[in-house]
Amino acid sequence: EAGVTQFPSHSVIEKGQTVTLRCDPISGHDNLYWYRRVMGKEIKFLLHFVKESKQDESGMPNNRFLAERTGGTYSTLKVQPAELEDSGVYFCASSQAPGSEETQYFGPGTRLLVL
C-alpha cells in the first residue's frame, strides 16, 4: 500500500512568488492534515480536512495560505505571495478514523525555501 506522497520534495522560490504544494493521502483516508516545521521549531498543525471539508484551519498562519481538497482526494496548499518566514518543511498526514482515534501517517514533506 502506498503511503502519503507529497510533491515537490523541494522548492526554492523568491519572495513574492507563488508556490503550490500537493499531498496525496493514503487511499481511503478521509482525514488529511497539513503541518509545518520551521527551522529550530517543533512541527505545528496547520489544518484538517475531512473529505473535502475543512474541519479546522486554526493553525493557518495568515490569509496568504490557501488549502483545498477538491473531491476529497488529494490536497493542495498554496502560498501567495510567499514571504521569507514561510520557509520550512511542510508535512501532510492522513488517517482513516477521525480525530486521534487512529494514528496519523506522515508524508516525506516538502522543503520550501523562500529567498
Partner 1 sequence: QKEVEQDPGPLSVPEGAIVSLNCTYSNSAFQYFMWYRQYSRKGPELLMYTYSSGNKEDGRFTAQVDKSSKYISLFIRDSQPSDSATYLCAIGGTYKYIFGTGTRLKVLA
Position among 55, 76, 87, 96 found at the interface with partner 1 (CB under 8 A): 55
What are the cell numbers at 61?
A: 498562519
Smallest distance from partner 1 to CB 104, Å? 6
- For partner 1, the closer of residues 40 and 71 by Cβ is 40
Cell of 17: 512568488
- Does residue number 43 form part of the binding site for partner 1 (CB under 8 A)? yes
Q: Which is nearer to partner 1, 97 or 115 (CB)?
A: 97
Alpha-carbon distances, residue 67 vs 1, 41, 46, 73, 92 (angstroms):
26, 22, 10, 13, 12
Q: How far apart are the first and last CA of the chain?
A: 37
The CB-of-5 to partner 1 minimum distance in angstroms stands at 10
Which are the contacts of 84, defined by CB distance < 8 A and separation ≥ 6?
15, 114, 115
What residue ranges bind partner 1 (CB under 8 A)? 4, 6, 31, 33, 35, 41-45, 48, 55-56, 59, 91, 98-100, 103-109
